[in-house]
Amino acid sequence: MPKSYQETKKNYSLSANLSNSWISRYYPKLNFKFKGVAIETVQAFSQHYFLSCLFDLENQSGLVMDVWANYPLIVNRGTNRFKKILEILFRTYDLVKDTMHARKQVQVSKIFPLIILGSGRHIEELFGLITFLHRKYDILVVGKLNEHFKKQLSKSSIDYFDFQSGLSFLDRFSRLKYLAYFVSRGQRSTPRVYPFGSHYWKKRLWFLRLVQFPEIVSLLSLANKLLSLSSARLLLTTTSNDLTGSAFCLMAHKLGIPSAEIQHGIWLWETDAQFYRSDYELMWSKQQAEIVKNMRQVKIEVGSPFLKKYAVGKNDFAIQKKKTIGILVLLAPPFGTEAIFRSIENGTVTRDLINGLSKLPNRFLITVRAHPSYNKGGDFKAIDLPSNFGFSTHPLADDIKNNDIVLTGATTAGFQAMLYKKPLFFFHNSWLQEVDGNFMTKSGAAVNVPIKSLPKIDRVILKFIGNPRALAKQRSIQDKVVKNCCDAFGKDSYQKIFDFIEHVIHS
């Protein structure tokens, strides 16, 4: 593990800077632009994700899981040889299929002044905002949409454009042309710069040339067609740093169409802000905007359209007298680009946490819920969980409501626990937390549990919940922190976003 915060900051800066310039500096033959938009800029965050894994591997044992993925992660164990062969066969099949299947047409039935872009749970959580805006404008929802969400949109008579791959909308000749272009532009010698000497890099470079780069060109082509045919006046997006979000935002900018990203997750530290590509960032509050003060986007405070402020009754400060006490563990250790800041291996932290919680009486029922993007499998393989432990299979809101205490890492779900006024404990194995802390722990809205104290977390919990004054004080602080962190919730936020859209469209 890195021995200091300065060392992790140096590694992070190296990864971030290299991700934004590696093609133009070291692989100029691959420096392709589509209508003036460089693929280097579109794929920078994906490259940062990969390079973060390599820098992280310098400080811990493990393997990069799935080098042929846009956002790979580090795992403790690799797959066996048979599975690797199957993966190669499936990827070869997918590559041939994506290259040779029939072309889909980009059809836009009418003018849409507002396009809303997103995929997965991020766009699904904005359904309330989408239906609200649909009453004001003709809108087109664009993204990788599942069948349930498409049915919701159809039922509300909302137009959508679903795509799983941009390649589907290029003709076969264009697909083969771009594939041949990137494959033929290799170079004989590898740059003598870390991490290009890594054995992972050769595999990664083939993935970029065979899969990711052609896909980026197709996304830029699709964005150009959709934005032009719809005569869009504004692009509203859930992300602007991933491949799809950055491709659409950068193309919108080239076409003179403003783009605005809706803040989805909570900001505790200013990391990755340089990879956001929208023109505007619709922030929860001034407090959140100040955390990312170096972000270049114009920041507009609109609150959160997907969070709800709940009417919570008086806290039961006599928690210890309950027959059973539920503890929800929101597992979100440093992963992805934040892994560089890790101070202790995630597996070690998980084991210490479980050992500490195991010392609580059996009437404490512990539910573990991992962040959707975190692969928790490796952390729990060697752990024999006691009978009063279990993994969550329920919606987040239900888990928070049905438990008495919440232990959280660096995740938006921890902030949501404050909306329910739950006794809150915070732990995070990163130098960011150890050196800088965060506004939740500094204010007292969450009890900070140092990583070294996790084996004794049972004592920390019992002492805190046994003190009614401490519980009441934390709840009072949480009220202030919630108000400071998020200006508006739900429908109140809808109106602020509508006011912003009106200003942009009619200016």
All domains of the chain, ordered by start, with CATH? 5-105+165-301 (no CATH), 319-485 (3.40.50.2000)
Find where tokens 């359904």 sit.
Answer: 127
Q: H/E element holding 139?
A: strand 139-143
Question: pLDDT tens-digit profile of 305-335?
Answer: 999 887 555 556 678 788 999 999 999 988 8
Rg (C-alpha) for the chain, rounded Å, is 24
Residue 62's pLDDT is 64
Question: pLDDT tens-digit profile of 348-390?
Answer: 899 999 999 999 999 999 999 988 777 666 677 777 888 999 9
Name which of 306, 410, 319 is nearest 365 in CA terms: 319
- Give the number of residues written for the chain: 507
Name which of 133, 174, 154, 244 is nearest 504 in CA terms: 133
pLDDT at 7 over 70: yes
The per-residue pLDDT of the chain, averaged, comes to 90
Question: Is 437 buried (19+), middle (13-18) or exposed (0-12) by CB count in 10 A?
Answer: middle
pLDDT at 235 over 90: yes
Residue 312's pLDDT is 59
Give the pLDDT mean for 394-420. 94
Q: How far apart are CA 335 and CA 346, in angstroms?
A: 9
Top mean pLDDT of 57-71, 79-93, 135-149, 189-203 is at 135-149
Whether the CB-CB separation of 292 and 271 falls below 8 Å is answered with: no
Residue 27's pLDDT is 92
